[in-house]
Amino acid sequence: MTEIFQNMSATEFESIQLEDDVIVTRKKPGDFVVCNLSSINLGKAVPADVLDRLIRIQVRMLDNVIDLNMIPVPQAERTNSRYRGIGLGTFGWHHLLALKGIRWEADEAVKYADSLYENIARLTIEASMELAKEKGAYPLFSGSDWETGAYFEARGYEGPEWNELRSAVQENGIRNGYLMAVAPNSSTSIIAGSTASIDPIFQKSYSEEKKDYKIPVTVPDLNSETTWFYKSAYFIDQQWTIRQNAARQRHIDQGVSLNLYVQNTIKAKELLDLHLAAWENGLKTTYYVRSTSVELLECESCSS
């Protein structure tokens, strides 16, 4: 996965030879990343207008995980307690676009990704700041980009709401050193009745196959209106996916597991162009490149 972006450091070993040929080894633990993840169902939460309340609960629950879980790896336990990193993510992006009648390959989708994820980021930072008031800031807050305000400057966060939040964080601290990460969560989204992560759909109906089972899947809220906005990933110009994620990535302090979907006839130069476009647009990572099988169903929504 490529959504967790946190500082890591090597564990250092030092051997000391004492009398009588006794050798003592001392170990200084390094930092080891921990994934404390949970995702918002955008297709349900946004239409219900519950992001504010939901994100406050979600950040508290993720923060509680750090205290309630017992981790057998000492380096991970140490890093978890020092940074208190969480990864609030999302799924159901294509579901949400279909409900709002927004085409994937449109500037409107890019602008909406920018505004929605800025709002999610602001609510997440605010929730963690409120937790810091109650329980204290994470141990390494002092001197961090959160305290200096560099975090907000790097993202160009300005305006009354952002300036007020920045001052509140500097005054009260923040509970979690890392806040947002968008994981693939394909299976989770199927269980929740939505679409995977920030990916476009595979097909309007298909079977999700795993090693021991096969699940029939139909895209959520499929009707005569939404069907035209559910275009298969393999017929979508992936440059639009990259542009959307460039807008989204600005608001996410960690990473996004971004898949690229291509047909099996793609040429090497075209594939290289996609990866270069991802780099030029400031994406931290891409995840899998998924290609079609030999047979490809006709695009039912392309005429829209």
Question: Each residue of 176-213: pLDDT tens digit?
Answer: 999 999 999 888 898 899 999 999 999 999 887 777 87
pTM: 0.92
Task: Assign 12 to helix, strand or coil.
Answer: strand
pLDDT at 299: 64
193, two tokens: 């009745």
φ, ψ at 300 (rounded to 5°): -80, -20
Q: Do 85 and 6 form a contact (C-beta atoms < 8 A)?
A: yes
**126 phi and psi, to 5 degrees?**
-65, -40
Please give the helix or strand (H or E) that residue 253 lies within, else none.
none
Structure tokens at 283: 């994406």
> Is residue 149 classed as helix, strand or coil in its secondary structure?
coil
Q: What single-letter amino acid sits at 128? A: S
Q: How many residues does the chain have?
A: 304
**pLDDT score for 25:** 80
Q: Are 194 and 44 in contact (CB under 8 A)?
A: yes
Q: What pLDDT does 112 receive?
A: 98
CA angle, residues 259, 260, 262, in degrees to nearest 5: 145
Q: CA 297, CA 282: separation in Å to the nearest integer? A: 33
Q: What phi and psi, each to the nearest 5 degrees, are found at residue 26?
A: -105, 145
CB atoms within 10 A of CB 298: 7
Q: Which pLDDT belongs to residue 304?
A: 46
- Measured in degrees and rounded to the nearest 5, phi and psi for residue 178 equal -125, 145
**Whether the Cβ atoms of residue 254 and residue 178 lie closer than 8 Å to each other:** yes
Residue stretches of the chain with pLDDT short of 50: 304
Q: State how far the alpha carbon of 7 is from the alpha carbons of 127, 201, 239, 254, in Å.
A: 23, 33, 30, 11
**For 268, phi and psi rounded to 5 degrees?**
-60, -40
Give the separation between CA 94 and CA 135, rounded to whole angstroms.
37
